[in-house]
Structure formats: structure tokens, C-alpha cells
Structure 1
Amino acid sequence: MENRRFDLVPSVQGAFPFPYLVVDDIFAEKDLNEVLMHWPSIDHFGVEGHHQHDLRLRLAEKEIDEHGSLIMPKKPFWIRNNEERALFWKRFADDTLRPIGLEILKYYSSFFRIRWSDYEPNYYYSLYWLEDAPEKYADIGLRVHTHYDHDPFWAVSCLFYLNEGNKVISGTNLQSIQTTENPESECDIALNSRRWYTDERIKPVERFDFKKNRLVTFVDGPLSFHGVDRYASHDSDVELERKAILIHLALHPKHFNEHYGMDRNAFMSKVMSHSVDQDLFRIVKSDVKRYKDAVARFRPFESSDYARGITLHGYRSG
């Protein structure tokens, strides 16, 4: 797979409840076949992480030191002793996913410019996963959540669906808070992950089917709620297979302390342990306001100095 430039042709796009983009036939047939040929066997999945009801294999997760610098991870175990496999996934990330990711960042550039206008538009791969779902994923799906408690500097989530869904496998749904304009309430919901699953104010408003060779992307943020419906009822002859590549692109972490008044680990520890003090609430309330302003003023593929200055650091496996 050679270096190339991708032109994103939207199949579905919109800005409610937050900006999203869906592109069908994202990979050339040859590239898709190579991905499936190099797909690891199911017994490799789940060893380095089990998330809800889908199994994930880590290809890259960049660690961040106390100074906000990126530390390249070692090669994950399942490709450590297989140079051919390691080379394929590295080249696929650099030659195919990176130019797609750069175009995605440019598509959403007006959103990022408003949300993070104080900082250089330098982005990187925060996570690069392969996913394969076992049959029990059919029971409850993936409950509503955001990625804000993982890292509030995550900019965009990109899901590449690889196999046929057979109208049984669920895709992704986007959800919205059905409430009055109340910043205090929205901030409280954003920070209280224990209530997300049961909060009746959070309701699905968009659904994207799981379809072979489809890309689904959406901006991340404090109110970017999404999930996966449980699988539809199915004939026992239909194989419940849900192969996908998931990447998260994030703003460079060197600005984190300046933006949030604390380092990344301290922020996530407070949010995930629900240790919300007045300072944190004030910071997140300001973040929610800026996020909502960016949603309201979003325009796809904005031509601006910010968009022209966007960079995406390449992936290295170790």
C-alpha cells in the first residue's frame, strides 16, 4: 500500500447532536482484502483488554509522561515475534489510515478551531485498536457513554466497519441530552458516568448501520454520547461477526496542564472516581460551553489557517 491522498465523499453527514461523518467504500477492495487476510485469530483477542462485550487488540496506545510528552509503546505481544504482521499494520497505519485521519481532522477543523483555538493544531494517534465481537455482544450492546473520562483531549473517534452486518449486527448510535438549556445540569451529566446508563434524559437520535467497508466518525467531547444497540434477533445460521478498526485521534497533550489546570492523570483520576470539586466543575463547565459553541458553529471542511496547519503524527509500533 503506497502513500496516497484520500478525498472523503460523505454518505451521511450532520451536526446534531454533534458533528459526524459517514463514508461508504472507504478502502480500496485490495486494501480491505489485505486487512482481512492479516486479521488475527479470535484467540488473540481479549488478552490485553476486554471492554464490555467486544474484544480488542491493542496496536498502539501512546503513553504520556509527567511533562506531557508522548512515549512510544513497545510492540504489543501478538505482533512482537511476527515481523511480517508488525510491518503490515504499521504500514497500514502510516500509508492508509494516516491520510484518511488527516482528512477527517480537516473535515472537523472548524469545530477544533473553536474548541481549541489557543493551541497548535497538532494531533496524534491516541489509540489504535482492532475489535472483534463474540456472540454474547448480542445481549445488551454497548451502553451509552462518552470518551471524556478517558481523555478530554480526544478529538475524534473513527470506526472502520470491515465485514457484512447482514442487517443483524448493530452499528453506532449517537445520543443527545433531552433537557433544557442548563449548563449546570449538562455539566453534572457529563461528569457522572454512573448515571449514563439509566438517565432518561439521554436518548438516541441517530443510528448508523453496520455495513462492510464503512467509516463512521464523530467528534469527541463532554456531551458526545454514543453507544451500540443490542443485535437484532437472528437466524442461528447467521454468524455474529463484527470486525472493526477503531482509532482515536487526539490533540497533543503538551497543552493539557495549561487547559485544565492539572495533569492528565490527575484529571482522569478525579473524573473516574467521581471526586468532583468546585474547581473541576468550573473547568468542565467552561469546556462544555466551548464544546457547545463549536457544535453550533461547525462547518465541514472550513478553509482557514487552522485547517491548513493541521498535522497528524504517524504511528510507530515500537
Structure 2
Amino acid sequence: MIDEPQGRLRVYLGAAPGVGKTYAMLSEGRRALARGRDVVVGLVETHGRAQIAALSEGLEVVPRRVVVHRGASFTELDVAAVLARRPRVVLVDELAHTNVPGSGNAKRWQDVLEIVAAGIDVVTTVNVQHLESVNDVVERITGVVQRETVPDEVVRRADQVELVDMSPEALRRRLAHGNVYAPEKVDAALANYFRVGNLTALRELALLWVAGKVDEQLDRYRAEHGIAATWEARERVVVALTGGPEGDTLIRRAARIAARSKGADLMAVHVTRGDGLSGADPAHLSRQRTLVEDLGGSYHQVVGDDIPGALLDFARGVNATQLVLGASRRGRLAQLWARLSLI
């Protein structure tokens, strides 16, 4: 028996409800249909939005499964029906949704992974507040506990994550015009969850999360293609620490360099010799580790008898764009770094 190849997963990520994720998903479905692909709607939530309902017209819809729970009837994505229909692409809205008890899976993201495992492509949607890693941050920003979450790894495994971006002001206009919620809910939404400050912070969270995903893809591409040269796609400043008192000054200098570029990474690294005879003062290193972390950076320790070589290997491995050295470390290492940057 030949195993079915995995389907592909495409995720439209948004900062908040109403930015246009479902619209983008349906538009992609219609484009795929126009290209001759077999596309069905597994589940789309219109929430009474006329534009979404109109965009769904003409697309085949797989009937939902009816689940009875405590005497009430609910409808959920019918995974078995999707697998039996075997389309090339299925559109599934609201990845973070919790299924009604009695469904095959507890979460919709589990439904989606089951469909992808069967060799069917899935296009889906999710808001950043539902990502597990930022759940507590979102609660602090908005004051709202998000009980429906998706493990970050599920979204990171997607073949494509596309950010559906909209400025806070534009989203508030959409809300005020009745394009997101029913008229009776608009005023409360604008005064609470959809405040400009909330939306700005959520937008930044979404942008940073997607930037991290792009970094992972770039690192994987460079590794797969054996690319050792530095690609200055994002500023990464590495400061080399000897364990001497001068490290405090170097860390602050590196932090100032990193601060000039929004989103830059600051990393401090200390190389320990294999024989343990580094001559470093543990008290200095402990204080410097605290300092670099207080400045938003990360501390790393590597082992190597060839200290300049170990530093360069670390800098190359993290795709560093700048290396900050004390006077005692310059010379051969600076020459090697200059050559490396020109490769």
C-alpha cells in the first residue's frame, strides 16, 4: 500500500476579527477553482456578513455534521464527509474553534491536521490572540482571556502563513460601518476590545510572530542549500565576552548598535576552552549575563579550543551582521570576520 502524500496547509493570520482573513481565504479558494483545482468549503462562518456570504456563492459546500449535546443540536466540520469527497483543496474557517463534545476531535485544528494527513490541501484562518505562546500577553493587553488556543507548532508547520494586515484606524472604520459586528454590538466593541491601543499592540504581535516564522524559513533554506555567507535580512549583533570587566562596556555598545535597527537581535557569547582554563571571572560573566538579558538580549556559551574560530562559527550560525569585540580580541579575528563578511 502506498502512503498518501501530505496535503499542504495555508494559514491566513490576522491581528483581530474583521481584518479580512475569511475574505482572503475565500478569494484564494475562488482563484484556485478558476485555475481548475477541485475546491470545496468545509466550513465558513459568515457571522451575518453579506460580503462573505456573496463570496461563498458558487463554491461547493460540504454539509456540516450535526452534533447533539445536552439536548441541543450544533453543527461542526464533517471531517469524514470531507475525506469521502476527497477534494484537492478544502476551506476551513476559524482554526482555534473548540468542537462540541461528541465530535471526532476536541479542536478544529486537530480536524485540519487529520485532513492534511490524508493528502488534502487546507486553507484556514486564525487570529494572533489564539496562538498559545502569546495567550498571556493578549490577556494583559486586552483584559480578555482567550480560552480557545492553537499550539504555535501547528501554525509553524504550515507550508505558508500569510498575514492579513489592516491598520487600527481602518479596522475601527470597518467596525463602525457595520462590516464586522451587528449594529447593537459596535459601540461596546469600539470602546473595549477594539481600542486603538489594543489593536496596535495586537498588530505588532502578529507582525513579530510572522517575522519569526520567516526567519525560520530563511534559516532552513540556508541550511538546506549550504549557504554560509551572511544574509543581512535582519540585524543581529553578537558581542564577544572574555569574562573580563570590559564586557559591561561592550554589551552596552552592542545594545546601542542593535537599538538603531528596529527588531534587531542582541546576542552575547562566551567561549570556554575544552580544558576549562579560560581565565574568565565567573562573577563578571554572571553579571554580564544579567545585563544582556536586562537589555533584551540573549546569552550563549560555547566550547572551543580555537576561540576565534568558535566565535566565528557561532556568529555564522546565527547569521550575525555585526560582531562587537574588545581590543584584545581584534587582529586575527577582525581580519577573519572581514573576510567572512565579503564571502
What TM-score, normalized by structure 2, do the two folds share?
A: 0.25
* Larger Rg over CA atoms: 2
Q: Which has the higher helix share?
A: 2
What TM-score, normalized by structure 1, do the two folds share?
A: 0.27
Relative contact order higher in (CA < 8 Å, ≥ 6 apart): 1
